[in-house]
């Protein structure tokens, strides 16, 4: 994770300010987090911008983390099917124990195979519009934003 630069306040006319931030751009790794309404989470899915996935990439990740490799590092319909399989495995979902899955309905992830897999395992998919503001994405506001803030504070100290 590369720290985001922040605005710095200084007295007018001061030429030097004591603040250092990495100029590194970093590599985008998409992480799919799955959290229920009670706050429990499933192991994450990490999607790396690679052609081939090697197990050593996720050393030190939480137990059960699923690592995937795709050319663009974004979730696509092929790896989304693997994400649903991961969800089924760790949530123990079935028609007798049907969960609801709230997610973005971006066209890149929805596929007939994924929808059929959800139907077979009793998963009800509830979607919110793609590219909507973070105010409509509960995980982005309630979990990811505080993590991002705490990470920046930790790096600053």
Is the pLDDT higher at 135 or at 121?
A: 121
In a domain, 75, yes or no: yes
Q: Which domain holds residue 70?
A: 30-156
Cα-to-chain-centroid distance, residue 2: 16
- 3 domain residue, yes or no: no
Residue 83 above 70 pLDDT?
yes
Poorest-confidence range of 3-7, 35-39, 88-92?
Answer: 3-7
Structural domain contains residue 116: yes
Structure tokens at 82: 């693997």
Q: What is the pLDDT of residue 90?
A: 93
Report the alpha-carbon distance of residue 109 to residue 114 in Å, rounded.
8
**Region 61-75: what's the mean pLDDT?**
85
The reply to whether 2 falls in a domain is: no
Q: Identify whether 35 is part of a domain.
A: yes
Name which residue leads in pLDDT, 145 or 120: 120
DSSP secondary structure of 25-55: -----EEE--B-TTS-BPPPEEEEE-SS--G
Domain count, the chain: 1
pTM value?
0.75
pLDDT, residue 19, reads: 63
Maximum separation of any 2 CA atoms in the chain, in Å: 68
Query: Is the confidence at residue 84, as pLDDT, over 70?
Result: yes
**94 belongs to a structural domain:** yes
* pLDDT score, position 104: 78
23 within domain boundaries: no
Question: Which segment of 39-43, 50-54, 130-134, 138-142 scores lowest on mean pLDDT?
Answer: 130-134
Q: How many CB atoms lie within 10 A of CB 19?
A: 10
Decide if 72 is inside a domain: yes
Average pLDDT over the chain reads 81
Mean pLDDT of 45-70: 90
Q: How far is CA 115 from the centre of its chain?
A: 20
From residue 146, how far is each of 18, 28, 34, 143, 149 by CA, in Å?
25, 19, 16, 6, 5
């Amino acid at each position: 994770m590369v720290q985001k630069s922040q605005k710095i306040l200084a007295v007018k006319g001061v030429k030097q300010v004591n603040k250092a931030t990495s100029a590194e751009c970093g590599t985008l790794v998409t992480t799919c987090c799955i959290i229920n309404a009670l706050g429990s989470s499933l192991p994450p899915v990490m999607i790396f911008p690679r052609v081939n996935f090697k197990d050593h990439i996720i050393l030190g990740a939480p137990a059960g983390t699923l690592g995937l490799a795709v050319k663009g590092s974004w979730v696509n319909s092929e790896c989304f099917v693997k994400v649903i399989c991961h969800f089924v495995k760790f949530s123990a979902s079935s028609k007798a124990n049907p969960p609801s899955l709230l997610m973005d309905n971006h066209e890149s992830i929805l596929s007939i195979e994924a929808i059929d897999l959800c139907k077979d395992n009793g998963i009800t998919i509830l979607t919110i519009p793609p590219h909507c503001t973070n105010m409509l994405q509960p995980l982005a506001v309630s979990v990811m934003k505080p993590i991002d803030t705490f990470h920046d504070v930790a790096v600053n100290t």
